[in-house]
Amino acid sequence: MGCTIGYHKNSCVIKCIESEKQALLTLKSGLLDYHHQLSSWGDEEEEDCCKWSRVGCNKNSGHVVRLDLRLVIRIDWNNMYVSFSSITLLNQMNLTSFGGEIKSSLKELQNLRYLDLSLFDGTFDTKLLASPDAILEELFLASFTIFRAWLLSI
């Protein structure tokens, strides 16, 4: 964070947290981005991950709170888990048309309130949402195949 204090103007520039920036870069390395939607991630001209496409940060703290991974394909879950465990304040995640596997380790995201799994194309551990620890406020499942027994369990 850099602050300027002057007679006419006081301003602070909040930038992303370095450990969260590194976590996003690790996450990107485990994804296939056919449409180059994550091309700004790691761009030398833009070091502040809060300004990267598909990333949203808290304006006061610089913590990553929103992540949009729609239309990308996961190829390495281990990278994804390490990344999520480092982005502790993440509260919104869009996985629309996400391809790959979502494991129950996603439960590590203690602040996750919004999850979009519309058009999800992969495997999913249904225990993630049926767990008493699930704290989601909004869950979007458009065109998501759900087993009746699982739906009745939540």
Number of domains forming the structure of the chain = 1
CATH no. for residue 46? 3.80.10.10
The answer to whether residue 1 is domain-embedded is: no
- Mean pLDDT, range 85-105, rounded to an integer: 79
pLDDT at residue 3 above 80? no
- For residue 5, what pLDDT is reported? 45
- The partner residues of 114 in beta bridges, in order of sequence, read 92, 138
Does some domain include residue 8? Answer: no
| Parent domain of 127 | 17-153
- The mean pLDDT of 90-110, rounded to a whole number, is 77
pTM for this structure?
Answer: 0.77
21-60: per-residue pLDDT in tens?
Answer: 999 998 888 888 888 999 999 877 788 999 999 999 999 9
5 inside domain: no
How far, in whole angstroms, is CA 7 from its chain's centroid?
A: 40
In a domain, 110, yes or no: yes
Q: What is the pLDDT of residue 35?
A: 86
133 compared with 94, residue with greater pLDDT = 94
